[in-house]
């Protein structure tokens, strides 16, 4: 079996492609929102801490 053969999924390609495509998008969304939220609050907390200790 070649690498191209494994992508041959016949008449159900639409359903399989949609299922994998949506899964990739949802995973990407979860990773992006989780990392962005954590980064945003870390920066905010560090900035406030720095401002408080600098007084």
Partner 1 sequence: MIPAPAFLSNPERFMAFSRWAAPMFGLIAAILGLAGLYLGFSAPDDYQQGATVRIMFIHVPAAWLSMFVYGCLAVASLLSLIFRHALADAAAQAAAPLGAGFTFLALVTGSLWGRPMWGTWWVWDARLTSVLVLFLFYLAYIALRAALDDEAKAARACAILALVGAVNLPVVHYSVVWWNSLHQGASVFRADGPAMPPVFLIPLLLMSLAYMAAFGALWLVSIRGEVWRRRAEAAALRAARS
CA-to-CA separations, 12 to 5, 17, 18, 19, 52, in angstroms, rounded: 15, 8, 10, 11, 60
- Residue 1 binds partner 1, judged by CB under 8 A: yes
Distance CA 36, CA 42 (A): 10
What is the size of the binding site for partner 1 (CB under 8 A)?
36
Q: Which H or E element spans position 21?
A: helix 13-53
Lay out the site mask for partner 1 across 22-41 (x = CB under 8 A, - = otherwise): xx--xx-xxx-xxx-xxxxx
- Residues near partner 1 (CB under 8 A) are 1, 6-7, 9-13, 15-16, 18-20, 22-23, 26-27, 29-31, 33-35, 37-42, 44-45, 48-49, 51-52, 55
């Amino acid at each position: 079996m070649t690498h191209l053969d494994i992508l041959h999924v016949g008449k159900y390609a639409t359903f399989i492609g949609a299922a994998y495509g949506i899964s990739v998008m949802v995973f990407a969304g979860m990773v992006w929102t989780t990392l962005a939220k954590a980064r945003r609050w870390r920066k905010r907390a560090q900035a406030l801490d720095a401002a408080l200790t600098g007084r």
